[in-house]
Amino acid sequence: MKLNEIIKNRVSVKKYLNEKIDTSMILELLDDAVYAPNHKMREPWRFILIDQERKNVLKQAWINQSGTIEPQVEKKFDNVFSAPMVITFVMKLNQNYNDEIEDLQAVAALIQNFMLLAYERGLGTAWKTPGFIELDGFKEALGIQTDEIIADLVMVGKPEKFPEPKPRIPAKDKVSIY
Ligand SMILES: Cc1cc2nc3c(=O)[nH]c(=O)nc-3n(C[C@H](O)[C@H](O)[C@H](O)COP(=O)(O)O)c2cc1C
């Protein structure tokens, strides 16, 4: 598939087959994805892979930290962690606000790289930023340091099916020639 076809056909996948995803393949894809542009080569990211076997360990660690999880938050967690694998994209906080915005953009570029590479291999993905990624109990359960944030989660797995891509407004409708 050509790159423009990969870009246009990648879609957010909600439902996944219950098939384990090979960690070595994910590492391979991430190893390519880290060639994303990032200012001053800060490479402000690290990754935590959570598969179906470990998701209940994570949930229990979170309950141990917080005492309880609100039912609607637990529902959200179960929904995101219904994927065979969830990748947590952890970003190092930056003392400088502008640098931090650059770093968030670099992480986003890396995630898009990853999702396109995954799609090329027949994997589905979905980018997620649920509110619970900011909760102390969840962050502590995952081992997030005080100088880090969870930037994003990405669900990964073999899709039940790839949905149709959502149409976009053509760029020419948003272009003015200066
Ligand atoms: C920074 C960012 C955060 C997102 N967070 C969520 C989210 O929390 N929940 C969700 O369902 N989709 C989330 N998405 C996915 C978008 O909703 C999705 O990409 C968009 O609807 C376009 O659909 P497509 O990915 O199928 O092209 C997020 C996307 C981005 C770029």
Distance in Å, CA 67 to ligand 1 centroid: 30
Domains in the chain, CATH or no CATH each: 34-158 (3.40.109.10)
Q: Which of 6, 9, 12 is the pocket-test mutation for ligand 1 (most atoms within 8 Å of CB)?
A: 12
> What are 88's strand-pairing partners?
48, 153
Q: Which residues pair with 91 in a beta bridge?
A: 45, 149
Task: Please say whether the beta carbons of 24 and 87 come within 8 A.
Answer: no
Q: What is the pTM of this model?
A: 0.98
Rg (CA), the chain: 17
Whether ligand 1 lies within 6 angstroms of the CB of 48 is answered as: no
Cβ(127) – ligand 1 distance below 6 Å: yes
Pocket lining: 64 vs ligand 1, CB cutoff 6 Å: no
How much distance in Å is there from the Cα of 89 to the middle of ligand 1? 15
* Residue 128 in contact with ligand 1 by CB distance below 6 A: yes
DSSP 2: -
How far is Cα 16 from Cα 174, in angstroms, rounded to an integer? Answer: 35
List the pLDDT tens digit at each of the 178 positions of the chain. 999 999 999 999 999 999 999 999 999 999 999 999 999 999 999 999 999 999 999 999 999 999 999 999 999 999 999 999 999 999 999 999 999 999 999 999 999 999 999 999 999 999 999 999 999 999 999 999 999 999 999 999 999 999 999 999 999 999 999 9
